[in-house]
Amino acid sequence: MKKLELEIPKQYQSVVKKLTEIAKSNNFIIYAVGGFVRDIILNRNPNDLDIMVEGENAGIEFSKIVAKKLNIHPPITFEKFATSKLLIEDKEIEFIMPRKEYYDKNSRNPKTEIGTLEQDALRRDFTVNALFLRLNDYKLFDLTKKGIDDIKNKVIRVTDESASDEIFEQDPLRILRAVRQSFQLNFKIEEKTYNSMKNKANRIKIVSGERIRDELNKILLLNTPSKAFYMLDDLGLLTIILPELKATQKVEQPKQYHDNDVFEHTMDVLDKIKPNLLLRVTALFHDIGKTDTKTEINGKISFISHENKGAELATLILKRLKYSTDFIKQVTFLIENHMYPKMYTKNWKDSSIRKFAYKIDSNLENIEELNIADSREYSKDLFDRVRNLKQKNLLTTNQELFNGKELIKIFNKPAGKWISKAKEYIKNLQLDNPNICKEDVIKKLKILLKDIQI
Per-residue confidence (pLDDT) for residue 397, from 0 to 100:
60
Return the pLDDT at 1: 44
Among the listed residues 312, 308, 396, the one whose alpha carbon sits nearest the alpha carbon of residue 359: 396
Identify the residue with better confidence: 394 or 149.
149
Q: Is 440's pLDDT higher than 90?
A: no
d(CA 122, CA 53): 17
Q: What is the pLDDT of residue 451?
A: 59
How do the domains of the chain map onto residue ranges? 2-152, 154-241, 242-391, 404-452
Q: Which pLDDT does position 344 carry in this prediction?
A: 95
Residues 6+ apart with CB under 8 A from 54: 28, 29, 30, 31, 97, 98
Q: Is 173:60 a contact under the CB 8 Å cutoff?
A: no
Percentage of residues of the chain with pLDDT beyond 90: 72
The residue ranges of DSSP E strands in 179-303, in sequence order, are: 188-189, 294-297, 300-303
229 neighbors 197 (Cβ within 8 angstroms): no
CATH class of 154-241: mainly alpha
pTM of the model: 0.86
Write out pLDDT tens, residues 224-243: 999 999 999 999 999 999 99
Paired strand residues for 86: 93
Residue 278, pLDDT > 90, answer yes
Q: What per-residue confidence (pLDDT) applies to 431?
A: 77
pLDDT reported for residue 425: 76
Does the pLDDT at position 399 exceed 70? Answer: no
Mean pLDDT along residues 359-381: 93
pLDDT of residue 47 exceeding 90: no
Q: Which of 47, 178, 171, 177 is nearest to 112 (CA)?
A: 171
Does pLDDT of 396 surpass 80? no
Supply the mean pLDDT for the chain.
Answer: 91
Q: Model confidence over 2-44: pLDDT tens digits?
A: 445 689 999 999 999 999 999 999 999 999 999 999 999 999 9
Per-residue pLDDT, 4: 55
- CATH tag for 2-152 (out of 3.40.50.300, 3.40.190.10, 3.30.460.10, 3.30.70.250): 3.30.460.10
Task: State the pLDDT at residue 256.
Answer: 74
Give the strand pairing for 300-303 and 30-33: unpaired
Query: Between vectors from CA 265 to CA 260 and to CA 194, what angle results, nearest 5°?
Result: 100
pLDDT band at residue 129, thresholds of 50, 70 and 90? very high
**Could you tell me which CATH number the domain at 242-391 has?**
1.10.3210
Q: How confident is the model at residue 376 (pLDDT cuts 50, 70, 90)?
A: confident
Check residue 413 and give its pLDDT: 76
Equal fold, 154-241 vs 242-391: no
| Distance from C-alpha of 105 to C-alpha of 114, rounded to nearest angstrom | 21
Predicted confidence (pLDDT) at residue 301 exceeds the cutoff of 50: yes
| Euclidean distance between CA atoms 187 and 369, whole angstroms | 30
Task: Give residue 83's pLDDT.
Answer: 93
Does residue 363 register a pLDDT over 70?
yes
Q: Which residue has better confidence, 130 or 411? A: 130
pLDDT at 393: 79
pLDDT band at 453 (very low <50, low <70, confident <90, very high): low
